[in-house]
Amino acid sequence: MPSDAPTDAPTDATTDATTDAPTSEYRSLLEVEQSQLRAELTELGFDDGRTGLDYDANFADTSQVTAERGEAEALAGQLKETLEEVANAIGRLDAGTYGTCESCGVAVSPARLEAMPSARFCIEHANRP
Ligand SMILES: [Zn+2]
């Protein structure tokens, strides 16, 4: 008697890799960005509590120094804003709301998040939330 027992035990190794959203990846991206921003602010002399490079008082009123200080302040302002965005994104990671558009709530595309980990809006609302 031919044994036609269907020995089709499905041995497909169901890779139950927990589909862990790569939030840890974004977190490290954000942390790298955060430390870079802080380093740049430190370099400009605008890290915590300081308000700029210590310009020599004797030259403080030359127009060149004034211009340089103005540029540094503008740059530092931008860096601080970006730093806030990054801190905000890390906060959203902690809260579990990271990666969704703050305007419409859709998931922001991973490509966009990789390019800009602190993105708060989907591509559609990026320019006008
Ligand atoms: Zn949106």
| CA 34/CA 82 separation, integer angstroms | 9
Compute CA distances 118 → 18, 34, 100, whole Å. 25, 10, 11
How many domains are contained in the chain?
1
Residue 10 lies in a domain: no
Ligand 1 centre to CA of 34 (Å) is: 25
Ligand 1 centre to CA of 126 (Å) is: 7
User: In this predicted structure, what is the pLDDT of residue 98?
Assistant: 95
The 10s digit of each residue's pLDDT in 6-65 is 555 555 444 444 445 568 889 999 999 999 999 999 999 987 666 665 555 555 567 888
Whether the pLDDT of residue 105 is over 70: the answer is yes
Residue 119 lies in a domain: no
Residue 127 lies in a domain: no
Query: Helices 23-44 & 63-95, crossing angle to 10 degrees?
Result: 160
pTM of the model: 0.69
| CA 119/CA 129 separation, integer angstroms | 12
Ligand 1 centre to CA of 30 (Å) is: 21
Range of the domain at 75: 23-98
Compute CA distances 75 → 3, 59, 68, 104, whole Å. 80, 21, 10, 31
Confidence of residue 89 (pLDDT cuts 50, 70, 90): very high
The closest alpha carbon to 97, from 21, 12, 3, 28, belongs to: 21
Residue 121 lies in a domain: no
User: In this predicted structure, what is the pLDDT of residue 73?
Assistant: 92
| CA 31/CA 29 separation, integer angstroms | 5
Ligand 1 centre to CA of 128 (Å) is: 9
Residue 39 lies in a domain: yes
Query: In sequence order, what are the residues at sequence separation of 6 or more whose Cβ sits closer than 8 angstroms to the Cβ of residue 82?
Result: 33, 37, 118
Ligand 1 centre to CA of 97 (Å) is: 14
Residue 16 lies in a domain: no
The 10s digit of each residue's pLDDT in 61-75 is 678 888 888 899 999
Residue 79 lies in a domain: yes
Residue 53 lies in a domain: yes
